[in-house]
Amino acid sequence: EATGITPADRRAEITKAYKSADNAKAFMAALEERGYYLARGDRRDYVVVDRYGNAHSLPRQIEGANTKDVRKKLASLDPAQLPSVAQARATIAARERAERERHQAKIEQAATEIRQRLKERQASRRAELDKEWQAIKIRQASERLALHAAQKAANDATAFTRAAQAPTGLMAFLQRVSGIGAIRAYYARRQDLSRGQRQTEENAALQRRHGNEDLAMACRRRLFPLMP
């Protein structure tokens, strides 16, 4: 429950390390590869300490071998030269801490690389949006100029037609006396008002469309801000 490793699994790993080693030194190396460390027990010659700091009698962890067999295989190893359980636990803690630091460093390095790639991708997308934004502003300016030019041409054409059709001399006098001139002026004002209202609506419609385009582009640009 504390380590996530059953006693049977622990004995199987230590037994495998014991049987694969030809001598004491090789056995210690095989143990460490599996996360176990050989230590000097208080009342027993040899104990094995797992990576969680729990000490276990070595002979009891080896299937098919007794204390005599273990001592014989490890005869070249002086128990007095082995670390105590406390020392083994300190070594394990230091190695676990170093492993966590290495793992954290790898995570931070990977995160830094991901952030850099994301920053480059964001910058590329933002550059594309900026280019598109500039093209939109140029098009909008062209559309405004074109509309204003068309409206001015219509106004000028109307003024030119009226000037060309304006009566002179006797005809102008007769229209003024008869009231026809007033009627013509009335309809001219109505025509100017209608044309002016239409042009105002055209300007408002163009402004609304440009405003919607600006809003849509602003939303898209906020999705790809340049990361700090």
C-alpha 15/C-alpha 30 separation (Å) is 10
Show Cβ contacts of residue 225 under 8 Å, excluding neighbours closer than 6 positions. 122, 126
Task: Describe the crossing of helices 180-223 and 169-178 by its angle, rounded to 10 degrees.
Answer: 90
Highest mean pLDDT of the ranges 31-45, 101-115, 193-207 = 101-115
Q: What is the pLDDT of residue 186?
A: 63
Where b means 16+ CB within 10 Å and e means fewer, 167-187 reads eeeeeeeebeeeeebeeeeee
Q: What is the pLDDT of residue 172?
A: 56
Local confidence band at 228 (pLDDT 50, 70, 90 cut-offs): very low
More confident residue, 67 or 4: 67
pLDDT digits (tens, 9 = 90+) for 47-60: 999 988 899 999 99
Average confidence score pLDDT of the chain: 85
C-alpha 66/C-alpha 76 separation (Å) is 17
Per-residue CA distances from 107 to 94, 96, 99, 102 (Å): 20, 16, 12, 9
Q: What is the CA radius of gyration of the chain?
A: 47
Residue 159 has pLDDT above 90, yes or no: no
Q: What is the mean pLDDT of residues 194-214?
A: 89
Q: What is the pLDDT of residue 227?
A: 46
